[in-house]
Amino acid sequence: MEVGSPSMVIIEGDYINPLSDKSTKLVRDGALVIEESTAGGRLIDCGPRDLVWRRLSRKAEVAQVIDRRGMMLAPGFVDVHFHWVQDDVRLMPKDSLLEWLSKYTWPYEAKFKSVDHSKKRAQKFSSELLQAGTLAGLVYGSIHDHSVDDALNYFQGEFACGNVLMTMNSPANLLQTPVQALKAVRSLGKKWRTRYALTPRFAPTTHPEVMRKGMSIAREFDCMVQTHLSESLNEIDYVLELYRQIKGFEDVSSYTEIYDRVGLLTPKTVLGHAIHLSPAEWKLLKKRGSAIACCPSSNAPVKEGGLGSGVFNYLEANRYKVPWALASDIGGGPYLSMLDVMHSFIRQQKRARREASFALAHHRATRAGAKIMGVDKQVGTLDRGSMASFIVLPGGSRSTRSALDAELYWRRLLNKKGSQRADYDHLVLETYVDGKLAFSQIGQ
Ligand SMILES: [Zn+2]
C-alpha cells in the first residue's frame, strides 16, 4: 500500500477492532496511521507497529508520533438510543416506567423550553459524551426545536437527533397540537436531513395521523426514525387499550402493528427496547427491516438503577435476523458510558441463562450500531478508510504477561475488584474525533 501524504500522524499502542459478534481483531504493539486533510483525519493504515513503519514510504512526512504503548486503542462508541435532555433524571428513583416519566422526566424536559438552558446543557452533555468515548448515536431531544439544533451543533461525531412528538396524553406544558408538531418535523427534517430523526415519543403520546404524516416528511428528506416499543408489560396493556378505542385500530393485534399501520416501520427505523414481542411481531420487524436498540442498564432491575422492564432476548433477534445494537437510554439508564452498558448487558443475559461475551457486547456497542445508522464507513470501527475517531483505554499488553485476547482484556478492565459502575464514566483516557484530540486525562 502506498502510504505517504503531506501530513501523517502515527499513534502507537495495542488496538482492538470488533469485526462481528464472534470475531475481534486485537493487535499487540500496533500502530494506526492517520492522514490529515481539511475533511478531517482518516485511518489509512493499521497493523503491527514494525510492519506499519516498514510500509511507510516517506517517513519524513510523518508529522507526529503519539506513543500510547501499554494502552488500548479502540473505536469510539455508538449509542443508538438516549435522551440527552434527561441527564438530570438518570439517578432519580424509578418505581415504574409510566410513573417515572410523569413524576421526573417530563417536568425536567419542560425546562428545555428555555433556549439558554438548552444551549448550556448541550455544551455540558457534549463534554460528557467525549469523556465517555461516545462518538455516534441516535438522540431524543425534548419537544422543543432548539433541543435538536443544540445537540447537532455541539455533539462531536455522527449523531442524528429528533424532537419528541407529544400531541396527546401528555402534560399541558409538553403538549403540542398536531399542526405544531408537523411544522417542527418539516422544518427540522429539511434543515438536518439524514441527521434528523422523526421521533414520536411512543404510540400513546403521538396521534396516529401525526406519525403517518410525519413519516411522509421523513421519507422526503431521508431522515432516520425512532420510537419506543414494548418496554414493559403494563405499557403494552395501556397502549393496546388506548389504541383499540381509536378509529382504524379497533382490531389491532399488537403494539408493533400499531406502528406498522402508520408506516413507521422501515429500514431507517430504530425501536427502543422491544423486550416483550410475540413471534408475529418479530416476523413483522424482520419483514420491514427495522432495527432494535437494546438498553440493558435501563431495563435492569430497579435495585441496579434501571426500570425493571425485563431482559431483551438477543438470541430471538438473531434468529429472526432483526438488526440490534446496544444503547444507554439515558436517563432510563443510569450511566452514559457504553462500558457500563456492555457490562450490564452481559450481567442481564447471564441472569436469563444466555451466554454473552464481552466481544459480542463490544461489537454491538460500536460497529453494529454504526451499521444500523448507516455510518459504519465513518465511525464505530478501526477499519482502513474510516474517520480517525477512536478512544484510548488503559491496560494494553504491557500490563499483562499472559496472551492477551479480547475477552481477557475486557474482563480485566471491567470486572476489576472493587470498581464501581460510576467509574466506567472515567475509564476513557483520551478521545480523538476525526483525528483531533477532543478529550484527554493523560498527564492530568
Ligand atoms: Zn428511551
DSSP conformation class of 103: I
Taking residues 27-49, report their average pLDDT: 94
**What is the CA(162)–ligand 1 centre distance, in A?**
12
Sign of the CA dihedral with 174 first, then 87, 195, and 119 last: positive
**What is the CA(81)–ligand 1 centre distance, in A?**
6
User: What is the C-alpha to C-alpha distance for residues 270 and 212, in angstroms, rounded to an integer?
Assistant: 16
Checking if the pLDDT of 157 tops 60, the result is yes
Render pLDDT for 219-265 as a digit per residue (tens, 0 to 9): 999 999 999 999 999 999 999 999 999 999 999 999 999 999 999 99
**What is the CA(82)–ligand 1 centre distance, in A?**
6
**What is the CA(163)–ligand 1 centre distance, in A?**
13
Q: Identify residues whose C-beta is under 5 A from ligand 1, the ion.
A: 272, 329
Residue 225, beta-bridge partner list = 198, 269
User: What length is written for the chain?
Assistant: 444
- The alpha carbon torsion through 331, 17, 392, 386 (nearest 10 deg) reads -90
User: What is the C-alpha to C-alpha distance for residues 410 and 423, in angstroms, rounded to an integer?
Assistant: 15
**What is the CA(89)–ligand 1 centre distance, in A?**
12
User: What is the C-alpha to C-alpha distance for residues 287 and 280, in angstroms, rounded to an integer?
Assistant: 10
Q: What is the pLDDT of residue 263?
A: 98
How is 359-372 classified by DSSP, letter by letter? HHHHHHTTHHHHHH
Checking if the pLDDT of 1 tops 50, the result is no
User: What is the C-alpha to C-alpha distance for residues 379 and 41, in angstroms, rounded to an integer?
Assistant: 12
**What is the CA(205)–ligand 1 centre distance, in A?**
14
Burial of 116 (0-12, 13-18, 19+ CB in 10 A): exposed
Query: What is the residue type of 228?
Result: H
Q: Is the link from the previous residue into 141 a cis peptide, with omega within 30 of 0?
A: no
**What is the CA(93)–ligand 1 centre distance, in A?**
16
CA-based nearest residue to 389, from 153, 92, 155: 155
pTM, two decimal places: 0.96
Q: What is the pLDDT of residue 299?
A: 94
User: What is the C-alpha to C-alpha distance for residues 411 and 416, in angstroms, rounded to an integer?
Assistant: 8
Render pLDDT for 329-371 as a digit per residue (tens, 0 to 9): 998 899 999 999 999 999 999 999 999 999 999 999 999 999 9
**What is the CA(228)–ligand 1 centre distance, in A?**
6
**What is the CA(192)–ligand 1 centre distance, in A?**
22
> Which residue carries 470488533 as its cell?
18
Query: What is the residue type of 141?
Result: G
Of all residues in the chain, the percent with pLDDT exceeding 90 is 82
**What is the CA(86)–ligand 1 centre distance, in A?**
10
**What is the CA(98)–ligand 1 centre distance, in A?**
12
